[in-house]
């Protein structure tokens, strides 16, 4: 017994010595909490984001020689903290704001994380970030787009993703261009799930389109995770709009794709606002039903050897799927957080907050298609941008704006 204890002690000491010898300074890991839907109806999207965040952490901790331009991807951990490694503690928001809030509290008080990232659904980001704000912990929102998130006067909230206003402007410009090219856009329908995400994006689109003189003739809000979407599709079929914009999570996105085929109705232009329609399991199950679907994305795989291509390969090796847009944005969020903590040179929340405010990444340093990362006073990344993609032969291809396009836009919408 004593002998055993002795052996353990000696081994432990040897390991410690090894650890310190490598870097000169005692290594400790920096703990970051990540709150994502790992169960519930958005679990497939949440587990994709989890894999992407793990990949980001792996790049920082172990490095990759092909990614020289990406900050910290040289595998030396966080040099600002003596080469400390990042450790992510994942928590399941179960798809409900209350569970997300409880997990945020647990991560902050029990797990002693120095920053939080999450939480996919805007409605859950509302509650989790409020918990971070109360405890003075930086919160990174890489993918939640609801407009009001940055309008709450929060001091600890940072959002890397482009927001509803950006997409609404992009859709509006895109549609006006199609109009000029002779496409019919006289009547536009918006179909949105009715939580924070769907409602806020729909209302921003309505405002923007009204300003730009585009006619929204029909708005159909519906409850997410419904058992049946036939009535919604029949409402569309009755009014027969030229353009439909869907704002939906995965389960409903799959049902819309199937039901539109069953009831044999399609618009001339069908637009999906990211989310469910970019979920790899939507693409895997339904790509053949939505050929020509227009979508938005902040991530597009570039030429072989480019940063996005290398990362996509790494992600594919890890999960078997291509890196989807929301997961790419989650990964980007983690890299921004790592960069800030490194520059802060400390795990003190106030120093990380100050470093986040001073973030200044160039377009070449980010993995998504953002023009860079720089936060305004409200914590919004003012350099975030997105492009418009189209489903072509089972894959989303960037088609707009022209300078970022990799393929020709093909209209009208083909469907199945």
Partner 1 sequence: MSSILLQVIVSGLLIGAVYALFSSGLTLIWGMMNVINFAHGDFVMLAMYTAFLVWTAFGGGPAASVPIAAVVLATIGVLSYFLLVRHIMRGPMLAQIMGTFGLALLLRYSAFWYFGANFKTLPDTLLGPPFVFGSIRVDAPRLLAGTIGLIVTLSLHLILTRTALGSRMLAVSEDATAAQLMGIRPEHMQAAAWALAAGATGIAGALIATFFYTSPTVGETLAIVAFVTVAFGGFGSVPGALLAGLLIGVIEAVSAFMIGPVYKDVIVYTLFVLVLWTRPQGLMGKA
Binding site for partner 1 (CB under 8 A): 38-41, 43-44, 46-47, 194, 220-223, 225-232, 234-235, 237-238, 250-251, 254-255, 258, 261-264, 279-282, 284-286, 289
Residues 270, 246: contact at Cβ < 8 Å? yes
The candidate with the shortest Cα–Cα distance to 277, out of 297, 261, 298, 260, is 297
For residues 221 and 238, give the distance between their C-alpha atoms in angstroms, rounded to a whole number: 16
Nearer to partner 1, 103 or 251 (CB): 251
Nearer to partner 1, 12 or 231 (CB): 231
Residue 45: C-alpha distances to residues 167, 232, 359, 380, 398 (Å): 20, 24, 28, 23, 21
Tell me the closest approach of the beta carbon of residue 231 to partner 1, in angstroms: 3
Q: Strand, coil or helix: what is 87?
A: strand
Q: Do residues 143 and 381 touch, judged by C-beta distance below 8 A?
A: no
How far is residue 123's CA from residue 279's CA, in Å, rounded to a whole number? 18
User: Nearest-CA neighbor of 276 among 231, 312, 246, 234?
Assistant: 246
Identify each DSSP E strand in 254-409 by its residue range: 269-272, 294-297, 361-362, 372-373, 387-392, 395-400
- 243 versus 255: smaller Cβ distance to partner 1: 255
For residue 70, give every residue at least 6 positions away whose Cβ sits within 8 Å of its Cβ, in sequence order, or none: 59, 307, 335, 365, 366, 367
In this complex, which beta carbon is closest to partner 1, that of residue 36 or of residue 157? 36
- Residue nearer to partner 1 on the CB measure, 200 or 251: 251
Calculate helix-pair angle for 196-211, 164-180, nearest 10 degrees. Answer: 40
Minimum CB separation from partner 1 for residue 320, in Å? 10
197 CB-side CA count, 13 A: 23
Q: How far is the CB of 33 from partner 1 (least distance, A)?
A: 20
Identify the bridge partners of residue 92 per DSSP, sorted by sequence position.
Answer: 36
Q: Which is nearer to partner 1, 156 or 282 (CB)?
A: 282
Alpha-helix residue ranges (DSSP H) falling in 110-223:
122-135, 164-180, 196-211
Identify which of residues 91 and 255 has a Cβ nearer to partner 1 in the complex: 255
CB closer to partner 1, 140 vs 289: 289
At 315, phi and psi to the nearest 5? -70, -40
Least Cβ distance, residue 65 to partner 1 (angstroms):
31
Least separation in angstroms between residue 226's CB and partner 1 is 7
Q: How far is the CB of 284 from partner 1 (least distance, A)?
A: 7
CB of 36 to partner 1, least distance (A): 11
Cβ nearer to partner 1, comparing 154 with 222? 222
Shortest reach from residue 127's CB to partner 1, in Å: 21
Instruction: Kindly state the smallest distance separating residue 195's Cβ from partner 1, in Å.
Output: 11
Nearest-Å Rg of the Cα atoms of the chain is 22
Q: How far is CA 109 from the centre of its chain?
A: 26
């Amino acid at each position: 017994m004593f002998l055993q204890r002795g052996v353990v002690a000696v081994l432990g000491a040897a390991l410690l010595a090894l650890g310190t010898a490598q870097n000169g300074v005692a290594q400790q890991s920096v703990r970051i909490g990540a709150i994502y839907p790992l169960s519930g109806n958005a679990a497939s999207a949440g587990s994709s984001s989890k894999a992407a965040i793990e990949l980001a952490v792996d790049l920082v901790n172990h490095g990759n020689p092909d990614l020289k331009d990406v900050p910290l991807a040289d595998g030396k951990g966080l040099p600002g903290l003596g080469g400390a490694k990042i450790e992510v503690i994942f928590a399941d928001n179960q798809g409900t704001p209350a569970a997300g809030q409880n997990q945020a509290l647990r991560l902050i008080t029990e797990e002693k994380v120095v920053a939080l990232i999450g939480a996919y659904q805007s409605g859950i980001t509302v509650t989790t970030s409020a918990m971070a704000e109360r405890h003075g912990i930086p919160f990174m929102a890489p993918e939640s787009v609801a407009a009001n998130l940055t309008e709450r006067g929060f001091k600890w909230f940072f959002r890397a993703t482009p927001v509803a206003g950006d997409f609404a402007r992009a859709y509006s410009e895109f549609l006006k261009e199609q109009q000029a090219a002779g496409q019919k856009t006289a009547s536009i329908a918006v179909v949105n799930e009715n939580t924070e995400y769907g409602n806020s994006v729909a209302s921003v689109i309505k405002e923007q389109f009204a300003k730009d003189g585009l006619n929204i003739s029909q708005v159909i809000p519906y409850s997410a995770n419904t058992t049946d979407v036939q009535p919604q599709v029949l409402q569309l079929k009755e009014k027969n709009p030229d353009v439909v914009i869907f704002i939906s999570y995965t389960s409903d996105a799959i049902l819309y794709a199937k039901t539109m085929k069953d009831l044999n109705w399609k618009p001339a232009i069908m637009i999906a606002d990211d989310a469910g329609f970019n979920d790899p399991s939507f693409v895997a199950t339904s790509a053949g039903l939505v050929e020509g679907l227009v979508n938005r994305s902040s991530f597009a795989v570039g030429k072989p050897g480019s940063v996005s291509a290398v990362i996509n390969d790494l992600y594919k090796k890890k999960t078997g799927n291509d890196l989807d847009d929301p997961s790419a944005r989650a990964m980007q969020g983690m890299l921004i957080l790592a960069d800030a903590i490194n520059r802060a040179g400390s795990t003190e929340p106030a120093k990380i907050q100050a470093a986040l405010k001073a973030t200044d990444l160039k377009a070449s340093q980010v993995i998504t298609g953002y023009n860079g990362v720089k936060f305004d006073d409200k914590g919004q990344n003012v350099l975030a941008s997105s492009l418009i993609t189209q489903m072509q032969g089972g894959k989303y291809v960037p088609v707009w704006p022209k300078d970022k396009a990799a393929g020709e836009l093909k209209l009208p919408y083909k469907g199945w």
